[in-house]
Structure 1
Amino acid sequence: MDKGGIRRRLAVCLALVTASGLLAIAVPAQAHAAPTRCEGRKVRTYSFSTGTLHVYKKGGYVCAVTYAKNPGRKQRMMVSVRAYRATAVTDEGRYSRRAGPVTVHAGHRCVWVKGQVGGGSVSKGWILC
């Protein structure tokens, strides 16, 4: 085999190894993407004029999502969960369908949940105590 053939085969092999290495790095990153819904069982649902706040619990974790009553156009939305004596975890921005999910480790502590869609909102006192 001449030197040109060997070089071509080496170039092809190097390209294949590089591509497979990039795929090995990229696939796990996609596998750990942010969840699009809460895990666990639904423990509370709070409806308000412009949306609904859903609260889920699994183990010591509490998760919440706010859904718009009329999805489609982007509007200001927010969801927040705060475990007692801890900092709140919040997702807020301009969304068309939902804000969240947000999850906190509450253990056996009470949590305070809030949700907002446009001009309507809900804020519940300490729950799940």
Structure 2
Amino acid sequence: MSSGRGRGRIRRRLTLGAAGLAAAVLLALAGPGVGAAHALAVGGPCVGHKVRTLPFSTGKVEVFKTRGYVCAVTTAKRAGARKTMSVSVQARGSRPVRDKGRYARRAGPVTVHAGHRCVRVTGSVSGRGVSTGWILC
């Protein structure tokens, strides 16, 4: 014969286990968004750590990397009036991902999944810019 107390313990453990599993699933699903919110909170437009800064006469391109993803953003040296800006990231063997338009301060961010492949990064502000060869190999 089993007592009511034994069944209550089992039921309580099952409830706690289900709640823990639900919390783990929610954290796994919300994890990338939480990281993005944290990166934006500290001032960066991309998630990850900065691996390169590519300066040029009218601005700079910053390149970030995390978990196989590469992100880049072009920032104008002088914010203000809208000017033609672009940023592009291309993983070797894939097509480039671009953001091009008239912006006051920043073009991008653009992100590609590079895995362990090399990437090529370009950026420009008002017709002047920078382009790398294959980097981060």
TM-score, structure 1 as length reference: 0.72
The answer to which structure has the higher strand fraction is 1
Q: How does 1:1-129 map to 2 (within 5 A)?
A: 37-129=45-137
> How many residue pairs are counted as aligned between the two chains?
99
Higher relative contact order (CA closer than 8 Å, sequence separation 6+): 1
CA distance in 2, matches of 1:73, 1:126: 33
Q: Which runs of 4+ in 1 moved over 6 A?
A: none
What is the CA deviation profile of residues 29-55 of structure 1, one whole-angstrom value per residue up to 9, with x for unaligned ones? xx9xxx781000000000001000000
CA distance in 2, matches of 1:73, 1:67: 13
CA drift of 1:119 comes to 2.1
Q: Which runs of 5+ in 1 are unaligned?
A: 1-30
CA distance in 1, matches of 2:102, 2:127: 13
Q: Percent identity?
A: 60
Q: Which runs of 5+ in 2 are unaligned?
A: 1-32, 34-39
The answer to which structure has the higher helix fraction is 2
Q: CA RMSD in A?
A: 2.0
CA distance in 2, matches of 1:85, 1:112: 11
